[in-house]
Amino acid sequence: MTQNETRRNLARTLLLLGRLGLAAIFLFAAYAKLKPQAAMPWSGSSIKTSLSLFAMQVDSYQLLPPQLVSPAAHFLPPFELCLGLWLLAGVLLRYASLITTLLLGAFFAVMVRTYMAGLEINCGCFGPGERLGPLTLLRDGSLLALALAVTIGAFLQGRKRRTESAPVPPVSAPQRAD
Amino acid sequence: MISRTNRHGVRRMALLAQWATAVLITVAVFAPAITAQATTPTAARSSTPAHKRVAADAAPGAPVKTIGNRNAPITMEVFSDYQCPSCGSFFENTLRAMIQDYVANGKVYLVHHDFPLQMHTYSGQAARWATAAAMIGQFQDVDAALFDSQAKWPVDGDIEKYVAGAISPANFKRIQGILKGCAAAPPTSKADRTVPQVDPSCPVDQYIVQDIVLGYQVPVQATPTFIVHYKGQSYPASSGIITWPILKQFFDTLLSQ
C-alpha cells in the first residue's frame, strides 16, 4: 500500500467517524426533545407535551416573538431527527454536512449571544434540565468544529471522485522528431 | 481490475450496509428508552410536589405563600428572589396574567418559594416581609407590591414603605409585630449550597430557610426557576423568563391530556 493510499484510507475513516458521530448526536438530541416527560408513555399526546416543554426553552432565549416560538419548537426536533438519519445514511454527504454546519453555527451564535447577555436559562440542547454555561458552549463549539471538518472532508472527497471519474482525453501519438 | 458492473454492485452493497447501520443505530437509541418507559411503574416515577412536602412538616400557623385553589389540576412552584430583575419581569409579564386568567379560573395553583440570592443586598429582607405577610394571609398583595416597586426599594432598602402602601394599617402593624425580633442578617442561599443560619428570634427565618433547602434539592441554579406538577407527575424545572402565551400553551397541552 502506498503512502497516498494510506493517507486516503485514513481520511475516509475519519470522515466516516465524524459523520457517524454527528449523526448519533443529532439523533440523541431529537430523541431527548421528543421523549415523554414525567411518567407518560410514548404517544402523540406525550410528544405534544414534550414539544410544548421544549417551546418554553426556546422562549427563554428571548430571541423569537411568541408567535414564532411554537412553530420553531415543533420544527426543530423532527428536523434534527431527519438530519441525523441523513448523516447516518451518508447520501449526498456534502449537502447534509453543510446543513449540519449551518444549523450548529446558528445554535452556537444564539448560545453565545444569550450567555453574553447574562441570561441564566436552560440550554435545551439535549432536552430539559441542562443549564447554559461555559461547558455547554465548549461542547457546542467542538461540535461545530467537527461539522466543519466533516463538511470540508466531504467536499474534498467529492472533488477527488469527480476528478477520478472524469473521462481521460485521448492521447495523441507522439510525433517523431526527425 | 474491477468491471463497471462489479463496481456498481459494491456501491449498492455499501449503500445497503449504511442503511442497515442507520436502522440498527436508530433502534438501539430508541429501544431502551421505550422499554424503560413501558416497564417502569407510574407510581415509582411520580414525585410529591415540594410544597406538599413542606406542608407535611409545617407547624400550625405556618405562612401560606400560595395563590389560588389548592385543588386546581395544575400546581406551579416558583423559586424567586424579590430583587432579581428576571424574577420581576417574569412576575409582571407572565405570572400576573396567569393569576388573572388561569389561577382565578381554578386551573393553576401557584406556590411561591423564596430563594434570596446572596448577591442581592435586600432580597433576604424582602423575603422576610413577604413571609410575615403570608402568616397573616396577606401574601398576594405584598408579593405584588414588592415586584411592582422592584426598581425603587433596592436603592436604599426601604421596603417597609411599599409594604405599608399595599395593605391596611392594621395588617401592616401585625406584620411589623411579627418582624420585631428580626435584627440579624436575613438568610440567603449560598453558592456552596450550605444551609443558612436561622435567627431564633425571627419567626419567619425558618420558613425562608425551608424554601432555600427545597431550592437546593431541585436544584435551583438561577432565579426564577419553576416546576409544574400535573396528575401527580412533576415536569422538569425551567429557568428564565417564559412568556405567558407559551406557558399557557404548555398548560393547555397538559389539560387536554
Residues 6+ positions from B120 with CB-CB distance below 8 Å: B81, B83, B84, B154, B188
Mutate to test the interface with B, among A12, A88, A111 (most CBs of B within 10 A): A88
Provide the pairing of β-strand B108-114 with B74-80: parallel
CA angle B81, B85, B86 (to 5 degrees): 80
pLDDT band of residue B59 (cuts 50, 70, 90) is low
pLDDT digits (tens, 9 = 90+) for B20-29: 555 555 444 4
**Pick from A32, A26, A33: which is nearest to A52 by CA?**
A33
Cα A154 to its chain centre, rounded Å, is 14
Judge whether B143 and B112 are in contact, CB under 8 Å: yes
User: Given a cut of 90, is residue B213 above it in pLDDT?
Assistant: yes
Q: Is B17 on the interface with A (CB under 8 A)?
A: no
Domain-located, residue B44: no
Inter-chain CB proximity A59 and B243 less than 8 Å:
yes
- Per-residue DSSP letters for A122-167? B--BTBTT-B-SHHHHHHHHHHHHHHHHHHHHHHHHHHHHHHHHSP
Cell numbers 430571541: residue:
A63
Number of residues written out for chain B: 257
- The residue among B13 and A48 whose pLDDT is bigger is A48
- The residue among B27 and B221 whose pLDDT is bigger is B221
Average pLDDT of the segment spanning B166-194? 94
Asked if B150 and B24 sit in the same domain, the reply is no
Cα B123 to its chain centre, rounded Å, is 17
Average pLDDT of the segment spanning A81-93? 96
Shortest distance, CA B228 to any CA of chain A (angstroms): 10
| DSSP reduced 3-state for B200 | coil
Judge whether B116 and B80 are in contact, CB under 8 Å: no
Average pLDDT of the segment spanning A55-73? 95
Judge whether B150 and B126 are in contact, CB under 8 Å: no
Residues 6+ positions from A143 with CB-CB distance below 8 Å: A22, A25, A104
Asked if B16 and B129 sit in the same domain, the reply is no
Asked if B17 and B65 sit in the same domain, the reply is no
Domain-located, residue A53: yes
Domain-located, residue A30: yes
Report phi then psi at B250, rounded to 5: -65, -45
Average pLDDT, chain A: 90
Asked if B197 and B225 sit in the same domain, the reply is yes
Cell numbers 431541585: residue:
B218
Residue B252 Rama label (left phi>0; alpha psi -120 to 50; beta): alpha
Asked if B20 and B62 sit in the same domain, the reply is no
Asked if B34 and B80 sit in the same domain, the reply is no
Average pLDDT, chain B: 83
Mutate to test the interface with B, among A26, A33, A52, A92 (most CBs of B within 10 A): A52
Asked if B69 and B193 sit in the same domain, the reply is yes
Domain-located, residue A121: yes
User: Given a cut of 90, is residue A48 above it in pLDDT?
Assistant: yes
Domain-located, residue A68: yes
A114 → chain B, closest CA residue:
B240
> Which grid cell sits at B53?
412536602
> Which grid cell sits at A110?
444564539
Asked if B33 and B71 sit in the same domain, the reply is no
Q: What number of C-beta contacts closer than 8 Å exist between A and B?
A: 112
Chain B residue numbers touching A41 (CB-CB < 8 A)? 37-38
pLDDT band of residue A161 (cuts 50, 70, 90) is confident
Q: For residue B10, what is the enclosing H or E element?
A: helix B4-39
pTM of the model: 0.81
Asked if B192 and B68 sit in the same domain, the reply is yes
**Least confident stretch, A94-98, A164-168, B127-131:** A164-168
Residues 6+ positions from B219 with CB-CB distance below 8 Å: B193
Cα-based distances in Å from A23 to A27, A94, A97, B57: 6, 14, 10, 49
Q: Among A49, A69, A121, select the one facing B246 at the smallest CB separation.
A: A69
> Which grid cell sits at B107?
386551573
What is the residue range of B9's domain? 4-39
User: Given a cut of 70, is residue B147 above it in pLDDT?
Assistant: yes
pLDDT for B47? 46
Mutate to test the interface with B, among A59, A69, A126, A165 (most CBs of B within 10 A): A59
- The residue among B3 and B75 whose pLDDT is bigger is B75
pLDDT for A2? 78
pLDDT band of residue A160 (cuts 50, 70, 90) is confident
**Pick from A144, A84, A83: which is nearest to A112 by CA?**
A144
Radius of gyration over every alpha carbon of chain A, rounded to an integer in angstroms: 22
Average pLDDT of the segment spanning B71-80? 97
User: Given a cut of 70, is residue B235 above it in pLDDT?
Assistant: yes
For residue B103, the 8-state DSSP code is I
Domain-located, residue A77: yes
Inter-chain CB proximity B237 and A42 less than 8 Å:
no
Inter-chain CB proximity B238 and A56 less than 8 Å:
yes
Judge whether A140 and A114 are in contact, CB under 8 Å: no
Q: For residue B63, what is the enclosing H or E element?
A: none
pLDDT for A41? 85
User: Given a cut of 70, is residue B61 above it in pLDDT?
Assistant: no
pLDDT band of residue A9 (cuts 50, 70, 90) is confident
Q: For residue A9, what is the enclosing H or E element?
A: helix A3-34
Cell numbers 431527519: residue:
A82
- The residue among A62 and B3 whose pLDDT is bigger is A62
pLDDT for A3? 81
pLDDT digits (tens, 9 = 90+) for B100-117: 999 999 999 999 999 999
Chain B residue numbers touching A37 (CB-CB < 8 A)? 233, 235-236
Domain-located, residue B122: yes
| DSSP reduced 3-state for B227 | strand
User: Given a cut of 80, is residue A53 above it in pLDDT?
Assistant: yes
User: Given a cut of 90, is residue A175 above it in pLDDT?
Assistant: no
Work out how many domains chain A is built from and give that number. Answer: 1
Work out how many domains chain B is built from and give that number. Answer: 2
pLDDT for A40? 81
